[in-house]
Structure 1
Amino acid sequence: MQWCNQDRFDVRLEWGPAAVTYAAKDVECIVIVDVMSFSTCVSLAVDKGAQVYPYPWKDASAVGYANTIGAQVASFDRGSDANGFSLSPVSIRKIEEGEKLVLPSPNGSAISFLARDVDARVTVLSGCIRNLTQTAMACRDFERILVIPCGERWPDGTLRPAIEDYVAAGGIIAAIGRDRCSPEAEGAVAAWQQLNLSSLHECASALELKQRGFREDIDLCLEVDSAKRACQLQGDFYAQGLRRS
């Protein structure tokens, strides 16, 4: 056992991209939690029957990738509606069934890429507050689960732990209903159980969105259990979760 991998426990929690490297040993399922806003965008799109292709880089390669697979690419600028969609959940509400969307994101998308390459047998889910119960239900058949709150980025590019991701991760873990949780996972459950969710409207990530003019996005990100579907990475895209045979 390494001190960092939490492999004595069935349900584990660790932050950011490094979690895939250090805490994903022998897991059967990875849940990626990026509430504001990647995972919320994925949930909104999947509920509409669309496919979301995570992509780590906001550059010309994203456009080339979208062209290759016959998809639209979300705007790199949350405030731009030039291409119809962005990381603003409000923009995703107009997506239609069958559409393909490449969604560049330095947090949720980047970690999705890393998780996808751990092992083809590992199920990767995108979880948030709006699909909390659906995500937990999709996890219940798996014995070893890693939940990754993605966090945000400070201006210098380093990881900023985000309370909304931590609380949502705790809610998913609580809904899974397991006893053998790591202390890190138990701490998130305690945060979920004790925090008044309305206070998340004043967390740092929400204040940033307010200052940028995206107040409506916050309301969508903090809707509890409004989703109809779990979101599972199926090859290169997120779609409705598949039942485990």
Structure 2
Amino acid sequence: MRFEWGPTGAQRLAPHVSCVVIVDVLSFTTAVTVAVDAGTCVFPYRWRDETAAVFAAQHEASLAVGRRATSAATPWSLSPAALRGAPFTPRLVLPSPNGSAIAASAGGTPVVAGALRNATAVGNWLARHGYGTPDRPVALIAAGERWPDDSLRPALEDLIGSGAVVTALRDHVGDVLSPEAAVAASAFHATRDVGAAVAGSASGRELTEGGFAQDVAIATERDASATVPVLTEGAFRDGADGRPDPMRG
């Protein structure tokens, strides 16, 4: 198991592993788990601009808007709380400059969405499909956030979330960890109160102060979800229901 940050980390590791797990706790992969829990197929899209609407129309999908741009006509957004309260839609385009960019950076390598909500389910799924071994290595890619100059800001919540997935998979395959993955697992184990740590992190405080404390609460629902969103034919769908491993067909 290996661990890196952001789209560049995904680009570097994807050619050398058999599966990429994206971890963007606040909030892309948490939002994906909430949507997939409800039976929605989620199409990641890298840009939040006018091209997103075109992309959604091409895929006959609803379009998620910015957290503060929701309305009765467009109730879906990157906010997990908004998604949980919105009407069901079978297909949703979810623009995200972090999580969606990482999905695009993985090339043809299978991609899974991991979060604190489904860390154990993801670890179990990876082990069941033979990932996390020397022959089928896994890369955990923490999304992080962005500074005003668009450079990567490592995010505590994604380090902890990645560590939770690493720990769940390690329970099946043993200590086949890179030093970076081992440190992520150690960060998770050293965090006595994960909910408090995420809420008190820079990202958590920013969301809470902006009026989105419920998004932080949903993001820290430890192992509340048994879904494993797997990127299949351009959309995240639940891979935990018996569908085949996309690498094996």
C-alpha separation in 2, matches of 1:132 and 1:189: 12
Q: How does 1:2-17 map onto structure 2 within 5 Å?
A: 11-17=1-7
Displacement of 1:180 after TM fit?
A: 1.5
Three-state SS of the structure 2 residue aligned to 1:24 is helix
Cα distance between partner residues in 2 of 1:67 and 1:15: 32
Write the letter of the residue equivalent to 1:92.
L
Q: Give, in angstroms, the shift of residue 152 of structure 1.
A: 0.5
1:174 equivalent to 2:167? Answer: yes
Partner amino acid for 2:168?
A: A
> 2:93 aligned to 82, 85, 102, which one?
102
Aligned to 1:186: 182
- Separation in 1, partners of 2:12, 2:63: 31
Q: Which of 230, 233, 236 is the aligned partner of 2:234?
A: 236
Larger fraction in helix: 2
On the 8 A contact 2:163/2:181 being kept in 1, the answer is yes
The residue number in structure 2 matching 1:22 is 12
- Name the aligned partner's letter for residue 193 of structure 1: H
SS of equivalent to 1:25: helix
Query: Which residue matches 1:84?
Result: 75
Amino acid at match of 1:66: A
* Paired residue secondary structure (1:180): coil
Q: Which amino acid aligns with 1:139?
A: L
Aligned-pair RMSD on alpha carbons? 1.3
Q: Which residue of 2 aligns with 1:164?
A: 157
Cα distance between partner residues in 2 of 1:58 and 1:101: 14
Q: How far is 1:94 from its partner?
A: 3.3
Question: Any idea what the Cα deviations from partners look like across 1:41-61, whole Å, max 9, x if unmatched?
Answer: 000011111010000001110
Cα distance, 1:96–1:234 mapped onto 2, change above 3 Å = farther
* Letter matched to residue 104 of structure 1: P
Identity %: 37
Runs of 4+ in 1 over 4 A off after TM superposition: 95-98
Opposite residue 22 of structure 1, the aligned amino acid is R
State whether structure 2 residue 129 is matched by structure 1 residue 136.
no
The Cα of 1:181 is off from its aligned counterpart by: 0.6
What's the CA shift string for 1:63-99, capped at 9, x where partnerless?
Answer: 0010111111111x21221211111111111356661
| Secondary structure of residue in 1 paired with 2:218 | helix
More deviation in 92-101 or 64-73? 92-101
Whether the aligned pair in 1 keeps the contact of 2:8 and 2:105 (CA below 8 Å) is no
Are 1:126 and 2:113 matched, yes or no?
Answer: yes
Give the TM-score normalised by the residue count of structure 2: 0.89
CA distance in 2, matches of 1:156, 1:86: 24
Give yes or no for contact 1:12–1:184 (8 Å, CA) kept in 2.
yes
* Aligned amino acid, residue 152 of structure 1: E
Contact 1:48 1:95 in 2 (8 A): no
Say which SS state the counterpart of residue 87 (structure 1) adopts: coil
CA–CA distance in structure 1, aligned partners of residues 89 and 78 of structure 2: 19
Q: Please name the residue that 1:154 is paired with.
A: 147
Deviation at 1:138, TM superposition (A): 1.6
Compute the displacement of 1:25 (Å). 3.0
The amino acid of 1:93's aligned partner reads: R
SS for the counterpart of 2:85 is coil
TM-score norm. by structure 1 comes to 0.90
Secondary structure in 2 aligned to 1:130?
helix
Is this contact kept in 2: 1:48–1:96, CA < 8 A? no
Matched-pair contact (CA < 8 Å) for 2:25–2:161: yes
C-alpha contact 1:50 1:95 (8 A) present in aligned 2: no
